[in-house]
Amino acid sequence: MIKTLLFTCGLLVAAAGLSFAEPEVGKPAPNFSLPDTQGKNHTLADLKGKYVVLEWYQPDCPFVGKHYRSGNMQGLQREYTAKGVTWLSIDSSAPGEQGNYPAAKLDEIAKQDGAARTALLLDPSGEVGRLYGAKTTPDMYVIDPKGILVYEGAIDNKRSTNPADVKTATNYVREALEAAMAGKPAPTPATRPYGCSVKYVSK
């Protein structure tokens, strides 16, 4: 059952064979502008002075489900938005692909999940996902108040769909945020993401 689910989801652990640009840790994060599910536009350049987390999101992916069913992702969202962090989830699923839903449906899912993100941004063209080289859902990026990318990669070191693994995992996003807020570099600035392949529009 799990093997079938992973195959259907398009599991991509190694991200081998895909060609993506890779934004560099320690360099400015690429600017972008995207609408959220309420139609409000969000531009990264306007968020200078704030910490920003980008979370590539796809509601039907079991790896995403692991972090929402366990309450891990919502807990991080609540914890760090309360500290002034802007948390932007981004759905780059193309029309007709898994995870592409009308905005109202995505808002309904967010309510059911108890999501505490700042906003869910819509990227059906995949332009921003490709700009960042986002490979999987989830794929995480942490940006400091100067607009510098300080972390990119997996949310944690437990590459599974089992919600129980969250309790014993090293959370790289938390580590990066805590280090940056203390004026220190992330202990692990880059890791290989794991999860379902981002369902980009075919070229």
CATH number reported for the structural domain that contains residue 161 in this entry? 3.40.30.10
- Give tens-digit pLDDT for 60-112: 999 999 999 999 999 999 999 999 999 999 999 999 999 999 999 999 999 99
Position 202 in a domain: no
Least confident of 13-17, 119-123, 127-131, 198-202: 13-17
What's the domain range around 54? 2-11+21-197
21 pLDDT band, cuts 50/70/90, is: low
Position 16 in a domain: no
Position 136 in a domain: yes
- Is residue 129 within 8 Å of residue 197, measured between CB atoms? no
pTM equals: 0.90
Phi, psi (rounded to 5 degrees) for 165 = -70, -20
Position 155 in a domain: yes
Per-residue CA distances from 70 to 28, 161, 164, 166, 195 (Å): 33, 10, 7, 7, 16
Position 78 in a domain: yes
Position 203 in a domain: no
Position 83 in a domain: yes
The predicted model gives 127-147 an average pLDDT of 97
The b-or-e profile of 126-145 (16+ CB within 10 A means b, else e) is: bebbbbbbbbbbbbbbbbbe
- Measured N-to-C along each axis, helices 72-81 and 62-69 cross at an angle, to the nearest 10 degrees, of 60
Res. 56: pLDDT tops 80: yes
Res. 7: pLDDT tops 60: no
Instruction: Report how many domains make up the chain.
Output: 1
Average pLDDT of every residue of the chain? 91
